[in-house]
Amino acid sequence: MNSDTQAVTEEEAGLPLVLPPHLTENFEKADRNLLEAYGTSPGVTALVRLWIACGTSRVIQREFERAVLNIRRKTLNLPEDGQFDEDCI
C-alpha cells in the first residue's frame, strides 16, 4: 500500500445497510412522536442506530429462533447470564 492509498478497516467501513420503507415506518413514527412531545428528535437514522445498539446477542438470537421456528406465543425471558432458574417462570 502506498501513501496515496488508505486501507479501510472493517470498523471504519461499517455495515452498509438499506432498509425498505416498510421497515422504517416505526422509526419515522417514533421520530414524529419525539418531535411532537419534546420538540426535538435525533432523526430516523440515529433512532435506527440506537435500536440496533440496544440489541444484545441473546435477544437477537431469541428473535431469530422465534421467527425460524414460527413461535407465536410469548417465550420465557432469560436473565442476562442466559441461565434458566425459577424466576424465569
Query: Per residue in 46-83, pLDDT tens?
Result: 999 999 999 999 889 888 888 888 777 666 666 666 66
Domain contains 63: yes
Find all residues with CB under 8 Å of 44, minimum gap 6, and list them. 24, 27, 28, 31
Expressed as residue numbers, the domain containing 35 is 21-73
Q: For residue 6, what pLDDT is reported?
A: 52
C-alpha cell, 71:
413461535
**51-65: burial string, b at 16+ Cβ within 10 Å, e else:** eeeeeeeeeeebeee
22 grid coordinates:
416498510
Q: Specify if 58 maps to a domain.
A: yes
Instruction: Give me the mean pLDDT over the 39-50 stretch.
Output: 95
pLDDT in tens, 10-20: 556 678 888 89
In a domain, 29, yes or no: yes
In the chain, how many domains are there?
Answer: 1
75 touches 66 (CB < 8 A): yes
66 lies in a domain?
yes
